[in-house]
Copies of this chain bind each other. A is one copy, B any other.
Amino acid sequence: MATNFYQKIYQSKKSSARLGIITTSHGKINTPAFVPVATKGTIKALLPELLKTIKTQIAIVNTYHLVTHPGTDIIKKAGGIHNFSKLNLPLMSDSGGFQVFSLQMKSEKLKVKSIKTNKPIANVRSEEHPLVVKISDDGVKFRSAYDGQLIEFTPEKSIEYQLAIGADIMMAFDECTYYPATYKYADKAMKRTHQWLKRCLKQVDSEKLKVKSLKLQNISYTRYLYGVIQGGTYEDLRKKSAEFVCGLNTDGIAIGGVSVGETKKEMRDQVKWVASYLPADKPVHLLGVGQFDDIIDLVKYGVDTFDCVEPTRLARMGTLYQVKNEQLRISSSESIDINKAIYKYNLTLVDENCDCYVCKNFTKAYLHHLFKQKEILGYTLATYHNLYVMERFFAMMRKIIKEDKI
Residues of A within 8 A of B (CB): 40-42, 44-47, 49-50, 69-70, 74, 77-78, 84-86, 344-345, 347, 357, 361-363, 365-366, 368-370, 372-373, 375-377, 379-381
Contacts and interface: CB of A to CB of B under 8 A. Distances in A.
**Taking the full assembly, how many copies of this chain does it contain?**
2
A77 B375 contact: no
B369 A69 contact: yes
A372 B357 CA distance: 30
B373 A40 contact: yes
Given A70-B368, A369-B40, A45 B376 contact: yes
Nearest to A384: B47
A397 B296 CA distance: 59
A366 B84 contact: yes
5 contacts: A44-B375, A70-B372, A86-B362, A376-B376, A376-B379
Contacts of A85: 366
A344 B70 contact: yes
Contact of A380 (B41, B47, B373, B381): B47
Closest 10 CB pairs of A and B: A70-B369, A45-B376, A42-B377, A86-B361, A42-B375, A40-B373, A74-B365, A78-B347, A376-B376, A74-B345
Nearest to A77: B347
Given A70-B369, A365-B70, A366-B78, A377 B345 contact: no
Contacts of A46: 377
Of the candidates A46, A47, A78, A379, the one having the most CB atoms from chain B within 10 angstroms of its own CB is A47
Nearest to A346: B74
A42 B362 CA distance: 12
Contacts of A369: 40-41, 69-70, 74
A44 B377 contact: yes
Contacts of A70: 344, 365, 368-369, 372
A41 B381 CA distance: 14
Contact of A47 (B44, B84, B377): B377
Nearest to A368: B70
